[in-house]
Amino acid sequence: MQFLKEADKVKSVFRRNRILHGERHENDAEHSWQLALMAIVLSEHASPEVDVLHVVKMLLIHDLVEIDAGDTFAFDQAAVLSQREREEKAAERVFGLLPTDMAEEMRAVWEEFERQETPEARFAGAMDHLGGGVVPNCHHQGGCWREAGVTVERVKARNSAIAAGAPVLWKYAEGLIEEVQQEGFIRSSNAAIVSQESVD
């Protein structure tokens, strides 16, 4: 119960991206709900051996460390450098509120998600990139990618991790990213260079 009450705090950790039907930023609790629902609805696109309950567990807890460590924008290189250390410390404290056996289990589930090595972790990771990045940002004309001036190459490099968990969904995501690029909301780094050269 102490753990569950503490977990309630992720309702006040806000992310870079916005909800689809509105302009406000999304919080970690509703983000985690969305990914868990997405994993169930899209589970036919996971490898057949994937244990869906395990994926859902991962997704429900994957951002609890942000209660202490805060949301780290994936394209903020300085923040990403210190992310692992901040989040490990947070995992120690937050999962430590659970009874010992469950604390160890949840901590291991979180570590598994972070390492992205098992089929479950990869499918959960694909949900995170798709539901927490590609879908909302493409819906909002580039969203926080546009706001931060991230190039299409960096967007694709980061989100191509979707392919490791669900190849079909990466095709879908790539299509959405390319549409946003064609509409001019995010730019190619090559295009930037070419356009600079043509100015020169």
Query: Which residues are near a second copy by CB under 8 A?
Result: 1, 3-5, 7-9, 11-12, 19-22, 26-27, 29-30, 32-34, 36-38, 40-41, 52-53, 56-57, 60-61, 98, 102, 131, 135, 139, 172
Residue with Cβ nearer a second copy (33 or 117): 33
Least distance to a second copy, CB of residue 44, Å: 9
The smaller minimum CB distance to a second copy, of residues 57 and 151, is found at 57
Residue 156: CB minimum distance to a second copy, A:
20
Find tokens 């043509």 and name the residue. Answer: 198
Residues in the chain: 200
Report residue 76 as tokens: 């903020």
Q: How far is the CB of 31 from a second copy (least distance, A)?
A: 8
By beta-carbon proximity to a second copy, the closer residue of 1 and 199 is: 1
Whichever of 151 and 165 has its CB closer to a second copy, that residue is 165
Q: Least separation, in Å, of the C-beta of 83 and a second copy?
A: 22
Find the shortest distance in angstroms from Cβ 198 to a second copy: 38
Q: Name residue, tokens 């970690």.
A: 28
Nearer to a second copy, 128 or 151 (CB): 128
